[in-house]
């Protein structure tokens, strides 16, 4: 059994303390051990500090008592919800983005066209407000109309997907009804040209 005199014991304790302090400083300086700002507890690479993005409420099947025929699409602008009315007083509810103040609207339309990965031609009225917009953009993941578009009557309005899912659930559009790409694909597959669309204030 090793027995240390008081001075040797004190020196040994000091050496251990220095080693622990050095290791702690090295660990703190390593980018691989920075605190994950998203709260997952996993190591984060240096500079990987992305803000947390809220996701729109998921679609769901619910009881729906409003007096609309099955197959009708109902948009509640105030609730920022779209309902596809089904049989037996039920509906599929989706979260949507709507027109910003001054550009929101209400009325009754019919779906006149359906397009997958649609091209985008911003209307003249929009380009007057936003001169930086292109005259034409081919369909694809970067296109603001997203994965699907349902054209409403002869108007400039559409129900469409979005390459900015964080805006779904907000009032930021020029009057179109925005959905996540996943939700607009689901709706697109359930409706047909001629479907009635009721947009409420």
Give me the phi and psi of 95, to 5 degrees please: -85, 135
Q: Which two three-digit tokens encode residue 54?
A: 């809220």
Q: Decide if 160 is catalytic.
A: yes
Q: Which two three-digit tokens encode residue 95?
A: 């979260």
52 three-state secondary structure: coil
Parallel, antiparallel or unpaired: strands 171-173 and 98-99: parallel
Active-site annotation holder among 160, 161, 165, 187: 160
Q: Decide if 68 is catalytic.
A: no
Active-site annotation holder among 98, 147, 176, 191: 176
Residue 81 bridge partners (DSSP): 76, 95
Q: For residue 105, give Cα distances in angstroms to 49, 76, 114, 135.
A: 39, 11, 21, 24
Name the residue among 175, 145, 174, 172 with its Cα closest to residue 160.
145
Measured CA to CA, the distance from residue 130 to residue 49 in angstroms comes to: 31
| Residues with catalytic roles | 160, 176
């Amino acid at each position: 059994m090793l027995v240390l005199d008081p001075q040797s014991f004190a020196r040994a304790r000091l050496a251990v303390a220095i080693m622990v302090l050095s290791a702690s400083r090295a660990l703190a300086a390593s980018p691989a051990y920075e605190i994950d700002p998203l709260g997952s507890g996993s190591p984060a690479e240096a500079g990987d500090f992305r803000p947390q993005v809220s996701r729109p409420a998921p679609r769901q099947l619910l009881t729906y008592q409003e007096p609309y025929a099955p197959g009708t699409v109902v948009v509640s602008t105030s609730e920022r919800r779209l309902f596809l009315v089904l049989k037996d007083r039920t509906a599929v509810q989706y979260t949507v983005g709507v027109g910003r103040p001054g550009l929101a609207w209400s009325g009754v339309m019919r779906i006149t066209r359906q397009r997958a990965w649609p091209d985008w031609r911003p209307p003249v009225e929009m380009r007057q407000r936003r001169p930086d917009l292109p005259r034409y953009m081919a369909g694809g993941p970067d296109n603001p109309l997203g994965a699907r578009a349902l054209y409403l009557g002869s108007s400039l309005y559409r129900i469409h997907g979005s390459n900015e899912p964080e805006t779904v659930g907000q009032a930021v559009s020029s009057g179109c009804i925005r959905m996540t790409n996943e939700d607009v694909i689901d709706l697109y597959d359930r409706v047909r040209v001629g479907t009635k669309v009721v947009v409420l204030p």
